[in-house]
Amino acid sequence: MRDLACIWHPFTQAYSAPAPIPIFKGEGAYLYSETGEAYLDAISSWWVNLHGHAHPYIAERIAQQARELEHVMFAGFTHPQAILFAERLLACLPSGYSRVFYSDNGSTAVEAALKIALQASGAGKKILSFTGAYHGDTFGAMAAAGKNRFNRPFWPYFFEIHSIEPPTPGREEFSWRAFEKILDGEDVGVFIFEPLIQGAGGMRLHSAKVLSQMIAMCRDRGICTIGDEVMTGFGRTGSLFACDRLDLAPDILCLSKGITGGFLPLGATVVRETLFASFLSPDFDKAFLHGHSYTANPIVCAAANASLDLLLSEESACARNRIACAHQEFQKRWGSSSKLLRCDVLGTILALEYRPEENLSEKLSLLFREKKILVRPLQNVLYFMPPYCVSSEDLNKIYEVITMTLA
């Protein structure tokens, strides 16, 4: 009742939404209500959690850092945690990236990437993106993804973009001619995409081969490419980053979500040295004049370093592999169910697209809520991406409930 009296929740129609579930504690893959009811978090709390809730190692590193230095402005000052994380992150990424620009979340990581790309590519250039994309809720990120039902009130304020259907794997009819025509129209300066899988757009997979070729064609024409790895980064898709599976890495990468293991908000926009160097000038106005009050906050960067320690461990690699294998087994047994239009697995992500049915999303949400498993279907797409610490027993619990919907 106290929540309903004072809180405005995101992505929620308060007129009709059920009251939110109050959560008081998190541990491993579980969230606990005040009365101790346990909810299995099958979607990693909006895709941010990697190693389990309230992981003691990250919590301890945050506490240590909070006692040493809680904040310092990041223009004119720096600090060890930000430097260390940038060095370690660059070492994990495909070669060629050399600079990390910090911000606060996925949308700001994208916003910074777009502004860097547009400032570098010169006035009047347009952005190209995939239909069905989602890059965040700030204005640039919304406009770059294109018009959809979620951003309808803001359409009159959007800048103009080009868009093209993403390359579905196995479908060879990707329209190269349409793509080439857009690129050669000479007004495209930036191509932004979620590599390998579109998240909020319905967990739709893309062909890595076609995407690699698209990046190569952009590079030939001097068009800046941005890989939005806000969802796919930090092990979700089977490799550490989705761009590890492309023949050619994009010019800019956007990272957030799992970057701190789900503890604190942080965004990182990673670029190559040539792009960074193109901003160097005796003229102050040629710099990238963008920043946020909490940019590279030391406590947040300490959480990122701690999360990276866990992510790079043998144990985490084995856990991700175990989840991927379990998902593949499930896919083999149930993927061709007549209730489904598709069943896809990409690393630790399992996505099921059901044949459309009235109120399907509500029905699925209700069933899983009754079974105390947290999910958030995207219309008729039900997906699972649990924290990497999820047990095989808990995965089986998830699969059991899914099979009830397929009978």
Ligand X SMILES: Cc1ncc(COP(=O)(O)O)c(C=O)c1O
Residues of the shown chain interacting with ligand X in the complex, contacts defined by CB under 6 A = 105-107, 110, 134-136, 194, 199-200, 228, 230-231, 256
- Min dist CB 225 to ligand X, Å, is 15
DSSP secondary structure, 148-187, as one string: -TTSGGGGGGPPPEEEE----TT-TT--HHHHHHHHHTS-
Residues in contact with 367: Cβ distance below 8 Å, sequence separation at least 6, in sequence order: 401, 404, 405
**Identity of the residue, 228 or 344, whose beta carbon is nearer to ligand X in the bound complex:** 228
**Identity of the residue, 260 or 405, whose beta carbon is nearer to ligand X in the bound complex:** 260
**Identity of the residue, 51 or 135, whose beta carbon is nearer to ligand X in the bound complex:** 135
**Identity of the residue, 28 or 262, whose beta carbon is nearer to ligand X in the bound complex:** 262
- Min dist CB 148 to ligand X, Å, is 14
> 56-68 and 298-311 are packed helices; what angle lies between their axes, rounded to 10 degrees?
150
- Identify the DSSP state of 22: P
Three-state DSSP class for residue 380: coil
**Identity of the residue, 374 or 401, whose beta carbon is nearer to ligand X in the bound complex:** 374
- Min dist CB 145 to ligand X, Å, is 9
**Identity of the residue, 28 or 235, whose beta carbon is nearer to ligand X in the bound complex:** 235
Q: For residue 8, how many other CB atoms are within 10 A of its CB? A: 6
- Min dist CB 400 to ligand X, Å, is 28
Residues in contact with 262: Cβ distance below 8 Å, sequence separation at least 6, in sequence order: 44, 45, 48, 49, 50, 51, 53, 387
Which position has the token pair 């070492």?
A: 91
- Min dist CB 29 to ligand X, Å, is 20
- Min dist CB 252 to ligand X, Å, is 13
**Identity of the residue, 116 or 340, whose beta carbon is nearer to ligand X in the bound complex:** 116
Distance between CA atoms of residues 241 and 214, nearest Å: 18
Tokens of 342: 């598709």
- Min dist CB 339 to ligand X, Å, is 27
Which strand (E) or helix (H) includes residue 37?
none
**Identity of the residue, 96 or 132, whose beta carbon is nearer to ligand X in the bound complex:** 132
- Min dist CB 205 to ligand X, Å, is 14
Residues in contact with 166: Cβ distance below 8 Å, sequence separation at least 6, in sequence order: 130, 131, 132, 193, 198, 204, 206
Reduce the secondary structure of 232-250 to three states and give it as a string.
CCCCCCCCCCHHHHCCCCC
Q: Which residue is nearest to ligand X (CB)?
A: 106
